[in-house]
Structure 1
Amino acid sequence: MSRPKTITIFLKDSDSPNGIKIADLSDSIARVYILPRVELAYARTRPDLNTPAVYMLFDDERTNIYIGECENFNKRVIDHEAKKLFWQWAVVSIATGAGLDKAEVKFLESHAVTL
């Protein structure tokens, strides 16, 4: 029998459903950020985004997707801001607490690409 879970979604700007969202799953180390490209300045204030991550970059229509992994999302996204012009949204998956190592994020990226 499956056990119920609670997903908590924090809306940074409660007046805008298209703003930053942070989702946490109860009893889990998983955290997901949904970040509009125009809000990357906020992402840089988040120390947990200076950790290994698996991320996806989307355009507004979600027809173009880039899947990547990194050791530090805030550093990696600087390059994407300059070189990948198509994207408007980033979905960033991290682990709270002890976090993920490079091998784990590479595995998760590989799995995401095959989906």
Structure 2
Amino acid sequence: MRLVLLAALLAAALPAFAAGSNRPARLGLCAACHGETGIAQMPGAPNLAGQRLDYLRNALAQYRDGRRDVAVMRAAIGPVSAAELDALARWYSAQAPAVQAQP
């Protein structure tokens, strides 16, 4: 049931996030949890902004192919093509990482 709810949420978010010409078409799939600019919107979801491009490409491919067994990620990334994965990795690696607040 959780996966069905998550899939519906992601499908609803997709058009809003894909509107910009320089944004990846599938950004809404990731932005629901990781934020449009890679700053996580959901507790427990890692920030993706500023991560190394090769790391993101590899991690996304591993989620899609099942080598990283996380059901939510597999459901979100499963239908994404290699070109779309590359566009997502490029987008998030180009974003500025979150600045941590000083105590």
* Higher strand proportion (structure 1 or 2): 1
Q: TM-score, normalised by structure 2?
A: 0.33
* Higher helix proportion (structure 1 or 2): 2
- Who wins on radius of gyration, i.e. which is larger? 1
